[in-house]
Structure 1
Amino acid sequence: MLEEAVQKPSTKPQTVLDLAHIHQSFARPGGGSSIVLEDISISLREGEIVGVLGRSGCGKSTLLRIAAGLMKPSSGKITFQGEAVDRPAKGIAMVFQTFALFPWLTVLENVMTGLDALGVKEDEANKKALTAIDMIGLDGFEGAYPRELSGGMRQRVGFARALVVDPTILLMDEPFSALDVLTAETLRSDFIDLWTEGKLAIKSVMLVTHNIEEAVFLCDRIVVLAPDPGRIAAEVEVPLPRPRVRLSPVFREIVDDIYARMTAGRGGAVDEKGKPALGGIGMRLPFTSCHRIVGLMELLAAPPFDEKADLRPLADRLHLDVDHLLPVTEAMQILGFSEMRDGLLHLTPAGNIFVSHAADGRKKLFCDHLLRNVPLAAHIRLVLSERPGHAAPRERFLPELEDHLTARDAEQTLAAVIDWGRFAEIFGYDQRRREFSLPPADE
């Protein structure tokens, strides 16, 4: 019995790609380093599509480049079929968000470029490329140039170019995000049909996306990344048979669950009361305009929501995807006008008072909350009040932020506080001169 058990082959799917304890940081211009990824461990098993889901700036694309061997991590290990990966590996192919086609080459020639790099003979490369083009639905366009193709057709060329080399793993970096809604949906469905029907030679797929519904539609398992720095906040199994129906209760339940996980405070960091954990002047701010913040509060206060809402119907009502809705809800939480409870976005008492006031009352309340909850805004105003002339250049504050944030996040944070500070009239900003100043009445 024991001997039979030992000899019985394992049914557990084999691990094809393993990322273990991946850290990535980049040097800041003023010294020190900025941590982009922190202790990321993901295993990609044979026969599954794994999604890496998160907001812009959480390090998704950086992680994918590390997995592809295009970038070395600061620490950690990547293993592909038992071999360490420290450079681009044969057997790993990638599809990019931008089509990245050679405009002077035809569809056939673009698809053949990968085979040329592998030294495949021309006749064989031509045959394999034609097969890939036919499989991806571009038969008849072999002699066309990229400028003659629609966006969806160009992305199909990108897929054909990746698949023609018979990779073991396909890595996809938001491959549908540059397409219009209908084209993206068609291409997703065609891809998952090829995968389900076993027409693809690839054994597993890793998909980077910020679209929750796309991840649930395509993936068997979803790794949710939180930002600042990028780290794993949750891992969600998607036990749904294919084809998947977006309107089914279980599909919607999984989408709602991921929405709740992605909005549990700032990147998942909350205090003992479940409120966003705030920092000092180096706190990253989401870039969203005050008009969007005010508009969302007004919508949340009115029927049918009546001060609380599930984010999915809220996003549907606003025709926004997660990357556009979450910065607004995050800003509302930072300012103290809303909070997440039980997976729902609630207006706080201050948020209710705000929407009930006229313009002047709203401005005063926004000013109070901005100075109280955003240390950078209070810091800028204090510096302006102490300087002769009550003015300071943008460069006075940007290096301070870059001591805590990446250059990109520092620029985004400063842009956000400029918009919010102007709305609250706690300071002015001259875009042409790139200069902050106190309003004349406050000098």
Structure 2
Amino acid sequence: MTTSLATRTALIEAAHLSASFPSANGSILHVLDDVSLTLHEGEVVALLGKSGSGKSTLLRTLAGLISPTSGEVRYRGTVLNGANPGAAMVFQSFALMPWLTVQDNVELGLRAAGVPAAERRARALAAIDQIGLDGFETAYPRELSGGMRQRVGFARALVLQPDVLMMDEPFSALDVLTSENLRNELVSLWAQPDFPTRCICIVTHNIEEAVLLADRVVVLGSSPGHIKAEVPVLLPRPRDRRSPTFEATVDRLYAILTGRDEKSAASSAATPGPLSHPLPDASVGGLAGLVEIVYSHDGQTDLPDLADELSFEVDDLLPLVDAARMLGLLEVDGAQAFLTEEGRAWYTADIQRSKSMFASLAAQRAPLVKTIVKALENSNDGALRDDFFRDLLRRGYSTEDTEKQLDIAIDWGRYGELFDYDADSGELILSEVAAALAAREEPAGG
């Protein structure tokens, strides 16, 4: 569509949304901060961001499934006080009722809305036909593949004929070929004049998926979630991944996602801490692999090209890139990664020197690892229960993210021989203390 956003009907408007939730220990977890966004008729909008940027929370707030802590959401000018009557949702997990047939699952929303049985049946069968599942009306979810189950999810949403179709990472639980097929079919459905929805809003962490589908990409930053940028995608459909404009748009989005987040940096303390600067979800082996590949490319590589070469999505590299930047092994300028002198020295060192260098970098530059080391050094016996750190992390993270942060820190600390972890007692122990204890317990003559 070529009309400007200013002349299109505003379907959903979010004004200064903030969302906060109590964490497990009673402190407040801030998920969204001052987000304003409008979804217009005739556009596909992608919400793109790293894990923890509040994408799904924002989508559910726009759908009226979550009430904002502050700010408001309006549907066609009316403030929401419950579920959005103009929106329907497609979930990543399919969310089908296993005891209902395909047709019954598709009719579920219509039944809840009080639509008469004959009309329910006619609309459900039409939706099932539209998404290519005719012949499976009486099948149960257990009889269907993942792709077919997600088609049922599409039909269940489309049968409601919503103004806005909301999709929360709908392809991420599917294999690559099935995902690509369903994305292409969604584009084909959107192009049909009788498509029963006027706007699509899709949450994704996949940069190429956003560029393939969206007219506008809204990039979210983290800690807490906020809008970093809005990037228009000025490409006709269907889109060619090999076109220079497509590649340039991917590079631009990659640069925004990997760039310094000024809002988060300004709001965090002068000294980075474990709550303001989480550890990226990257193993030491993964880090070493990335550094080795950049080294083999003469110390410089284009990250989207590298991802394509490795048959990954470009966003799959983000945690590794973030970890390498945190430790000072790589520098990133836009979509280009450069090996630092420390990165080169780390890669070319022998195993013991490499471990020693990693220990030094992690203890200085990885905030949670640094916090653990300092706390253990200041304890009476060089040991502390993991619950001590778990309670601190819960002030800023969900329970799931708290465990993930601890797991990453323990992996990094063990590799660098900074500290050890006893899973039976739940204790983190300085490595020299653990070594002394082990020597003391070794039997005489052993």
User: So what's the TM-score if we normalise by structure 2?
Assistant: 0.91
Matched, 1:35 2:27: no
Matched to 1:422, the amino acid is R
Q: Secondary structure at the match of 2:7?
A: coil
Question: Quick one: distance in 1 between partners of 2:366 and 2:98?
Answer: 48
User: Which 10-residue stretch deviates more, 25-34 or 118-127?
Assistant: 25-34
Task: Give 1:333 deviation, angstroms.
Answer: 0.9
Question: Quick one: distance in 2 between partners of 1:347 and 1:66?
Answer: 41
Matched to 1:280, the amino acid is G
- What percentage of aligned pairs have identical amino acids? 45
Q: Determine the structure 1 residue equivalent to 2:254.
A: 259
Q: Determine the structure 2 residue equivalent to 1:292.
A: 286
Task: Give 1:398 deviation, angstroms.
Answer: 1.5
CA pair 352-266 structure 1, distance change in 2 beyond 3 A: farther
Matched to 1:23, the amino acid is S
Question: Quick one: distance in 2 between partners of 1:238 and 1:171?
Answer: 19
Q: Determine the structure 2 residue equivalent to 1:420.
A: 412
Question: Quick one: distance in 1 between partners of 2:334 and 2:181?
Answer: 35
Task: Give 1:296 deviation, angstroms.
Answer: 0.5
CA pair 270-316 structure 1, distance change in 2 beyond 3 A: farther
User: Which 10-residue stretch deviates more, 282-291 or 420-429?
Assistant: 282-291
Matched, 1:333 2:330: no
Q: Determine the structure 2 residue equivalent to 1:79.
A: 74
Q: Determine the structure 2 residue equivalent to 1:195.
A: 190
CA pair 148-376 structure 1, distance change in 2 beyond 3 A: closer
Q: How many residues align?
A: 428
Q: Determine the structure 2 residue equivalent to 1:317.
A: 309
Question: Quick one: distance in 2 between partners of 1:311 and 1:108?
Answer: 45
Q: RMSD over aligned Cα, in angstroms?
A: 2.0
Q: Determine the structure 2 residue equivalent to 1:18.
A: 13
Q: How does 1:99-138 map to 2 (within 5 A)?
A: 99-138=94-133
User: Which 10-residue stretch deviates more, 306-315 or 386-395?
Assistant: 386-395
Matched to 1:290, the amino acid is V
CA pair 291-207 structure 1, distance change in 2 beyond 3 A: same
Runs of 4+ residues deviating >4 angstroms: 266-271
Matched to 1:114, the amino acid is G
Structure 1 residues 397-440: Cα deviation after superposition (integer angstroms, max 9, x where no partner): 11122234443333222221111111110111122322111224
Task: Give 1:267 deviation, angstroms.
Answer: 8.1
**Contact kept in structure 1, 2:304 and 2:335, CA below 8 Å:** no
CA pair 267-28 structure 1, distance change in 2 beyond 3 A: farther
Q: Determine the structure 1 residue equivalent to 2:60.
A: 65
**Contact kept in structure 1, 2:332 and 2:338, CA below 8 Å:** yes
Q: Determine the structure 2 residue equivalent to 1:3.
A: none
Q: Determine the structure 2 residue equivalent to 1:356.
A: 348
Q: Determine the structure 1 residue equivalent to 2:39.
A: 44
Question: Quick one: distance in 1 between partners of 2:80 and 2:145?
Answer: 36
Q: Determine the structure 1 residue equivalent to 2:441.
A: none
Q: How does 1:128-277 map to 2 (within 5 A)?
A: 128-265=123-260, 269=264
Q: Secondary structure at the match of 1:34?
A: strand
CA pair 48-133 structure 1, distance change in 2 beyond 3 A: same
Q: Secondary structure at the match of 2:53?
A: coil
Structure 1 residues 144-181: Cα deviation after superposition (integer angstroms, max 9, x where no partner): 11111111111111111111111111111111111111
Task: Give 1:270 deviation, angstroms.
Answer: 5.8
Give ranges in structure 2 of 5+ residues lacking alignment: 437-446
